[in-house]
Amino acid sequence: MKLELRAVSKMYHGARGPTLALHDLEFTIAPGEFVCLLGPSGCGKTTTLNLIAGLDQPDSGEILMDGRPVAGPGSDRGVIFQEAALFPWLNVWQNVAFGLAARGVPRAERLRIALDHLRLVHLEPFEKANVHELSGGMKQRVAIARALTLDPEVLLMDEPFGALDALAREQLHFELQTLWEQTRKTIVFVTHNVREALVLGDRVLLFSARPGRIRGEFACDLPRPRHIDDHALVDCSRGILQDLREEVFRTQQEDRREPMAP
């Protein structure tokens, strides 16, 4: 297995007191698989992604990549957040090549690799553009290209299209499917949108309300490229939507019962 989570639990301590974000979370992901983590807000999806990225550590359990424990961040895992987090003082190709520069790759080689990856995300004509000249969707494509330049084995994506308008999101759904078919990277994609999960994923893991566990697992073998309004996809989404609504309701009930810490 490329990724394996074994009985992973994580507790946070905040103004409301201790919160158990994950409890005995377990799942596996095969090499080259595109898996979407789906669930209501606060169910631990982003926490799970951060643990896989090595940006945080579980309180108990273990996370394995290729059979080896994840002990911290590494170039074998690329992370893309909801905000593109580009450097405004660098132009597009310099942003894409930033990790290569940190590795000491010569400038000419950095430019070649950056342009190759900008071509993958259809942004080669904008190589010298400034960040403020880009739309939200273009910024996220730059962020994807930047993550891919270091050739990670796993791409971790935390609701990267959540802030985009519907048309930009649908375009990036198509482009990400194409990119995955070209590269066959292992992708773990966090979303709270059922149809987005089914458009993108080979498999959808539905999280329970806090503390997060896997409530259900749904395979999606519809032909690609998929579109969010495909009739077959809409039909597939109905059962998952019902389960998700129940988890959202449970989350709301739990939030009402939890008193504020003094």
* Percent of the chain residues past pLDDT 70, beyond the cut: 95
pLDDT at 40 over 90: no
In a domain, 211, yes or no: no
In a domain, 191, yes or no: no
Per-residue pLDDT at 256: 64
Report the domain count for the chain: 1
* Mean pLDDT estimate for the chain: 91
Per-residue pLDDT at 258: 58
In a domain, 110, yes or no: yes
In a domain, 72, yes or no: no
Q: What is the pLDDT of residues 98-142, one digit of tens each?
A: 999 989 999 999 999 999 999 989 999 999 999 999 999 999 999
In a domain, 106, yes or no: yes
In a domain, 11, yes or no: no
Q: How far apart are CA 52 and CA 85, in angstroms?
A: 20
Angle between helices 107-120 and 166-183 (to 10 degrees): 120
Reported confidence tier of residue 244, pLDDT bands at 50, 70, 90: confident
pLDDT at 260 over 70: no
The secondary structure element, H or E, covering residue 24 is: strand 17-29
Reported confidence tier of residue 16, pLDDT bands at 50, 70, 90: confident
Per-residue pLDDT at 141: 93
In a domain, 143, yes or no: yes
In a domain, 102, yes or no: yes
Please give the residue range of the domain that contains residue 105: 80-151
